[in-house]
A and B are shown apart, each in its own frame.
Chain A
């Protein structure tokens, strides 16, 4: 029963002749790329706001050099970077039809993302206890706004991954829907490359 349904579902949701699009690309995937192009300007604005503002603090005021814990952030950056690897495994396993593998990799990716977010929460509390609040100075406002926006994006990504995971558990995520996983994967990788930029510019640049 389940097999016939899956087969039937496959014939109906895979691109058919009638699903012809002018470019041959599915609407959803094109929309995701268009959206990611737009996101570049969002994060570009936040990153340049940070760059512009981080030095605009008074002498003796709490600044980047006082709070950053590079070993800690390096580890959480590495975790997020590796979550991109597990994400591509999730995509390639569902393309192969390996639904169990897909579930494992989706869960792993979400867990790695959650680890990153947890690390960020820890980092924020640590900074706060050291005296850097959102309202303390321009560095604080800009730093929390930028990394907070990124963290919100990661969180949304985790929610989407978990939704995929639940869909898969309920048997609604077969190989015919591999593109769904791929599209959410695109979002996930984008969040990762934004962090690559943030990690370099915010944390590693000489202060």
Chain B
């Protein structure tokens, strides 16, 4: 066996060989790795956690606009009594897609964007544990998202769209009641995004546990890293539950199984249980990253360390645990029996405690601080106040008799929008403004940023505040119209006006991004510096935007808020004084001798295979066969891919960080399928 033959199948051995003729002879060109860090290919084949994070963010923003447009159609339809903007059937599809899009394709990937970009930086790592799997997670998510969204177009405008609500109760989701392909798109699309989330959660858990820099013990990690870690654990254990539920649904619809076939004796409550066993942890999967973001922003702009770090972390962990024991509060009116109602009622009241701890800690962090109300800080304070309103209306649901009155009314809609928009979206937007200079190297305009914040905040309260009243007046959610004599007209009109105010605010936010980018380019792309906000954690200790290799040298961490403590010390009288400027401490990104994982073709090819399998399941099983061929081929390509391409430009030298992933995460690649 010649050396050249062996290089194809022996990733590690190519590492062992010096770049030379043995490598240059590649019998099969496809087994080489893509090269270069410029142009569109560098994005498609990237394994860099920062680029993947940016792509997650961009995709989430795109889906946010899709879901937002759907929301506007809902509000247009409901603006006046007997609305006739869209028909009742289309209305079902629109509100379902609005919910599914906003939860699975906006809130989760936008949190994943921050997780991908920031998590390795905050723990001082070079990249995630499995860079190629990370790329796969993104492309797989995108495949699922596009499949879901394409349901609005395939076979006619909103003809084959999921229309069972985001929780898609059985038996309404069966072929009998929903004969078109919409629910199939729901089942397959969410299954695919579920694979993405699961792979990503394994990857990030291993990253946090294993890739921390020297001295970065778990209790020195920033609160955001902690909250993201807990989120990944929740995903890890919650995704398989929805996977089971979706498989059962898929089997029922595609192959005539009986899982939710009441005529065959099935109990459709099984779907509700499985869905909410996933669904309630999902709520914390959505909100904990936003909590983490707020916990980074508030200390920075209060110039104080986070109040009660240990309590902050412990309450996050407590939420992670207790989130598993409250799911049946979504089912108080489903006939689960008095004992179950009482038990879940009590556990739901308890889970308010750790959440309350968080709110109090944020307030205590601000108390006595030197507050700077920048745009991110405004968003963070917005989260604290708006989320608290949503949390309080949530506590009213925990009381079962009260919940019985509120279930399926607009009161519930008001509640979860205060949590999801007021807590999660505001938090993610705050994070967007906060880390924009780190990610792109320039600031967003503060004036436009603040203006957009206020418009969004006012629009948000105009939209969802009145829904509390509408709900208590008895307006059901998910009705396509209401009569004029029901007394819902006024507050519905207010809500519709509010929705368009939100849209205006989002437009201002987008304009701000465009304008700030344009102004920065016109000004000759000035450097914003590593640390524009005078912040505390490690991601600010490197150049902006973060260089491909993150840090020039390995950082040795000695405590919480390491970066802050390198900038500031105390004088004899105990006053905080600056010891060094940020640019003196921060790495300038000039070290080009860092060994980085090479880009790879296979993550996107593998996801393409999954996408084909997905469409095949819905339309034609031959397509599944084609997808499987692509999928298996991509897996073996993945495994056989050389660990590294010695001909790739630069980034080779003495300083190896050893995280050449090639050929090392192949086991996972196989089990993923």
Interface residue B622 (Cβ < 8 Å from any Cβ of A):
no
Instruction: List A6-61 residues whose CB lies under 8 Å from chain B.
Output: 8-9, 11-13, 16, 18-23, 25, 27-28, 30-32, 34-35, 37-42, 45-46, 49, 52-53, 56-58
Interface residue A184 (Cβ < 8 Å from any Cβ of B):
yes
A53 touching B259, Cβ below 8 Å? yes
A42 touching B266, Cβ below 8 Å? no
Main secondary structure of the interface of B (DSSP, over half): helix
Once the chains are docked, how many angstroms separate the CA of A142 from the CA of B258? 8
- Report B-chain residues with C-beta under 8 Å of the C-beta of A180: 667
- Report B-chain residues with C-beta under 8 Å of the C-beta of A45: 240-241, 243-245, 274
Q: How far is the CB of B211 from chain A (nearest CB, A)?
A: 7
User: Which of B216, B256, B667 has the most chain A CB within a 10 Å cutoff?
Assistant: B667
Main secondary structure of the interface of A (DSSP, over half): helix
B237 touching A38, Cβ below 8 Å? yes
Chain B interface size, as a band, is: 35 or more
Interface residue A193 (Cβ < 8 Å from any Cβ of B):
no
Cβ-neighbour of B265 out of A46, A56, A135, A184 (below 8 A): A56
Interface residue B592 (Cβ < 8 Å from any Cβ of A):
no
B205 touching A27, Cβ below 8 Å? no
Cβ-neighbour of B6 out of A18, A25, A58, A171 (below 8 A): A171
A141 touching B210, Cβ below 8 Å? no
Q: How far is the CB of A152 from chain B (nearest CB, A)?
A: 10
Interface residue A126 (Cβ < 8 Å from any Cβ of B):
no
Instruction: List B1-46 residues whose CB lies under 8 Å from chain A.
Output: 1, 3, 6, 9-10, 12-13, 15-17
Interface residue B118 (Cβ < 8 Å from any Cβ of A):
no
Once the chains are docked, how many angstroms separate the CA of A141 from the CA of B248? 9
| Proximity string of chain A (153-183) to chain B, C-beta cutoff 8 Å, 1 when within and 0 when not | 0001001100100010011100001001001
Assuming the contacts A25-B210, A137-B258, A141-B259, asked whether A163 and B670 have C-beta atoms less than 8 A apart, the reply is yes
- Report B-chain residues with C-beta under 8 Å of the C-beta of A38: 198, 201-202, 236-237, 239-240
- Report A-chain residues with C-beta under 8 Å of the C-beta of B259: 49, 53, 138, 141-142, 145
Interface residue A127 (Cβ < 8 Å from any Cβ of B):
no
Once the chains are docked, how many angstroms separate the CA of A53 from the CA of B244? 14
Q: Shortest 5 CB-CB distances between A and B: which pairs?
A: A45-B244, A18-B658, A42-B240, A141-B257, A21-B210
- Report A-chain residues with C-beta under 8 Å of the C-beta of B244: 42, 45-46, 49
Once the chains are docked, how many angstroms separate the CA of A28 from the CA of B209? 12
A8 touching B16, Cβ below 8 Å? yes
Interface residue A187 (Cβ < 8 Å from any Cβ of B):
yes
- The residue on B at minimum CB distance from A13 is B12
| Proximity string of chain B (222-246) to chain A, C-beta cutoff 8 Å, 1 when within and 0 when not | 0000000000000011111101110
A12 touching B12, Cβ below 8 Å? yes
Interface residue A65 (Cβ < 8 Å from any Cβ of B):
no
Interface residue B544 (Cβ < 8 Å from any Cβ of A):
no
Assuming the contacts A31-B203, A38-B240, asked whether A134 and B255 have C-beta atoms less than 8 A apart, the reply is yes
Interface residue B665 (Cβ < 8 Å from any Cβ of A):
yes
Interface residue B657 (Cβ < 8 Å from any Cβ of A):
yes
| Proximity string of chain B (277-320) to chain A, C-beta cutoff 8 Å, 1 when within and 0 when not | 00000000000000000000000000000000000000000000
A156 touching B671, Cβ below 8 Å? yes
